[in-house]
Chain A
Amino acid sequence: MQLILDRISHRYGGTNVLEDIGFTIGDGEIVCIVGPSGCGKSTLLRIAGGLEKPDAGEVLLSGEPARDSLNPLTYIFQDFALLPWRSVEGNVSLVLEDHGVSAQERRETIADVLARTNLSGFLGALPRQLSGGMKQRVAIARALAVKPAIMLMDEPLSALDSQTRELLMDDLIGLWQRERFSALYVTHNLAEAVRLGRRVIILSRRPGRIREVVEIDMPLEERPDRVTELDRLQRHVWDIMREEAREADREIADVA
């Protein structure tokens, strides 16, 4: 399934947040979005997932999701968004209960996704008993349970320490290699962006416009061995962002 963002513009009150953003996420593609803080990345993701209406432009889906997909467009939130009063099992179960899944099937799905995220031993644990990395794995398990066609991820790893981040990154890549979901991945971390993205979209400072699109035509499984190339790409992305920041500083100086 493809997600098409067509000339999206959005404003909050008097401030333009997004201007004329258009791109397509193809089948099984991971598209990363980077950009300065406050440029509208989270807003764009909310619009893409139908949680907010853009002022102009539209978000389109093309193609049908797999028949067993319960929630084609699925979020993974930066702050995990787990219900604190439900156990790990209950949190995953929550998103299945509304879709007419039989109790038996539900139990199987829960066991399956928790096994895939290495959480099998924590079925009955409450969120407050889990570490940050485990909470995010629960959130990922919950997202997998509805068999999404497209994942929308808002800095899913940024609340975690760097070791956990590395491990979850590997998990995520492993998952993608098996399931080939499409994803829109917002991040501050340029290394993450070049490691995951088929394309990296660099947004300008507010109002967010597409500043540049960096294509990375390198299979994910080869990336760990081609570090130098990735480094060069990452530096390229960083150069653009630094230029963006310099211009912003210059504008402020001009105003002053």
Chain B
Amino acid sequence: MSHDTQVLGSTAGKHKEERAVRQVPFRGGGFVHRPMGPIGAVVFLAIIALWEAGSRTGVISPIALPAPSEALGALWDLVVTGMLWKHVGASLYRLVIGWTLGSLLGIAVGLMIGLFSLARAGLLPLVSALFPIPKIALLPLFIIWFGIGEGSKVATILFGTFFPTVIATYGGVDNVDRNLIRMGQSFGLSWLSIVRKIIVPGAMPAILSGFRISASIAIVLLVAAEMIGAEFGIGAYILMAGALFATDQLIAGVALLSVLGLSISWLIGRAERALLSWRA
């Protein structure tokens, strides 16, 4: 036994002498995301700095695009006149109500389509038919139905978020591991328990990624809806600025929308981390 290993050892040693030895090249890298620190912020600030420099040196004409500092000035005006909160508050109110109701209804209908054959047969064609309609096209109808005030704006956002949520939810339910459901049945869990403890958590990743999409749709629709018959709101502010060709105000309004989008995305990221920590 020991003799054998010695022989093996010596031949291995000889090979080492005779042939060039090199490391197996590492090929396992890539395709994995690493945290990169504040790169996003750096890119963002660099673009703004370039833009500001371009405006100051006259490369970018002030008629084409106002300098970031001017947009900041417009934003400051909003703050000191107290209009900032009026506009943002009105927009947030519509967004939160419309998106929340749309999402709740969407999850409810999505679960029904996912769980009941009758609901699937009856509602799925309807959802497929209505989903692609741009809700902005229906805005005049919503105004007739729900009034020119908050009703039509909330309804536009509600309808816009409802359909993607339905589709994300029932897709998530369909993708829940059937073996887990079978396991629940084999232990005699009630129907409601299986839905609550196996199907809903299993569909949660899909529902949350649906939220990301529906939140962006909600912001787009918010602006569109506020462009008709709204006194306050980020959309109304942008429309007014556009009508007056006050491009600094326009950019300020667009920046507000970006901040809104970023905040929502951050909130959903937090929710994902809290609810989906088991995925890691």
* Number of CB contacts from chain A to chain B under 8 A: 51
**1/0 per position for B86-125, CB-CB distance to A under 8 A?**
0000000000000000000000000000000000000000
The interface residues of chain B lying within 8 Å CB-to-CB of A142 are 187
Which of B204, B276, B280: most chain A CB closer than 10 A? Answer: B280
Quick one: given A79-B179, A98-B193, are A49 and B278 in contact (CB under 8 Å)?
no
Check if B278 sits within 8 Å of A75, measured CB to CB.
no
Complex contact A81–B188 (CB within 8 A): no
Per-residue contact bits, chain B 159-199, to A (CB 8 Å; 1 contact, 0 not) = 00000000000000000000110111111111001000110
Give, as a whole number of angstroms, the nearest-CB distance from A220 to chain B: 26
User: Counting CB contacts under 8 A, is B201 at the interface?
Assistant: yes
Please state if B201 and A83 are interface contacts (CB–CB under 8 Å): yes
A187 within 8 A of B: no
Contact B189 A77 (CB under 8 A): no
What residues of B have a CB within 8 angstroms of the CB of A79 in the complex?
Answer: 179
Given A75-B186, A98-B188, A128-B278, A83-B179 contact (CB < 8 Å): no
B197 touches A81 (CB 8 A): no
Verify if A237 is at the interface (C-beta below 8 Å from B): no
A 73-111 to B, binary, CB cutoff 8 A, 1 in contact else 0: 111010101011110000000110111000000000000
Instruction: Name the distance in Å between B278's Cβ and chain A's nearest Cβ.
Output: 4
Contact residues, B69-98 vs A (CB, 8 A) = none
Minimum CB distance partner of A73 in chain B:
B186
Which residues in chain B, 186-220, are within 8 Å of chain A measured between CB atoms? 186-190, 193, 197-198, 201-202, 204
Contact among A74, A81, A95 with B180 in the assembled complex (CB-CB below 8 Å): A81
Judge if A146 is at the interface, Cβ distance under 8 Å.
yes
Main secondary structure of the interface of B (DSSP, over half): helix
Q: In chain A, residues 47-81, which have Cβ atoms closer than 8 Å to a Cβ of chain B?
A: 49, 51, 70-71, 73-75, 77, 79, 81
Interfacial chain A residues near B198, Cβ < 8 Å = 83
Contact in complex: B183, A77 (CB < 8 Å): yes
B16 lies within 8 A of chain A by Cβ: no
Contact of A81 among B183, B193, B276, B278 (CB under 8 A): B183
Residue of chain B at shortest CB distance from A49: B186
Given A71-B187, A85-B201, does the pair A51, B182 have CB atoms closer than 8 Å? yes
* Interface membership of A126, Cβ < 8 A: yes
**B279 located at the interface, meaning its Cβ lies under 8 Å from any Cβ of chain A in the complex:** yes
The verdict on A81 contacting B190 (CB below 8 Å), with A94-B197, A126-B278, A128-B278 known, is no
Q: How far apart sit A84 and B186, CA to CA, in the bound complex (Å)?
A: 18
Which chain B residue has the least Cβ–Cβ distance from A81? B183
The answer on a CB contact under 8 Å between A146 and B201 is no
Residue in chain A with minimal CB distance to B197: A94
- Can you name the residue of chain B whose Cβ is closest to the Cβ of A70? B188
**A81 in contact with B201 (CB, 8 Å):** no
In the assembled complex, the CB of A31 is this many whole angstroms from the nearest CB of chain B, namely 19
Which residues of the other chain, A, contact B202 by a CB distance below 8 angstroms? 85
- Judge whether B187 and A95 touch: CB under 8 Å: yes
| Contact residues in B for A99 (Cβ distance below 8 Å) | 188
A71 CA to B204 CA, complexed, in Å: 29
Residues of B within 8 A of A81 (CB): 179-180, 182-183
Chain A residues with CB under 8 Å of B184's CB are 94
In angstroms, Cα B190 to Cα A94, docked, is: 11
Expressed in whole angstroms, the Cα–Cα distance for A99 and B280 within the complex equals: 32
Chain A positions within 8 Å of B279 at CB level: 84
- Cα of A49 to Cα of B186 in the assembled complex, Å: 7
Q: How far is the CA of A73 from the CA of B183 in the complex (A)?
A: 12
> How far, in whole Å, are A148 and B280 apart by their CA atoms in the complex?
34
Query: B197 touching A74 by the CB < 8 A rule?
Result: no
Chain A residues, Cβ within 8 Å of B193? 97-98
Which B residues are within 8 Å of any A CB, using their own CB? 179-180, 182-190, 193, 197-198, 201-202, 204, 276, 278-280
Interface residues of A (CB under 8 A from B): 49, 51, 70-71, 73-75, 77, 79, 81, 83-86, 94-95, 97-99, 126, 128, 142, 146
6 CB contacts below 8 A, A to B, read: A51-B182, A70-B188, A83-B197, A86-B278, A98-B188, A146-B187
**Other contacts beyond A75-B183, A94-B184, A142-B187: 16, CB < 8 A:** A51-B182, A74-B186, A75-B186, A77-B183, A81-B182, A81-B183, A84-B278, A85-B276, A86-B278, A94-B187, A94-B197, A97-B197, A98-B187, A98-B188, A98-B193, A128-B280
Nearest 10 CB-CB pairs, A to B?
Answer: A81-B183, A85-B278, A95-B187, A75-B186, A85-B201, A71-B188, A98-B189, A81-B179, A98-B193, A126-B278
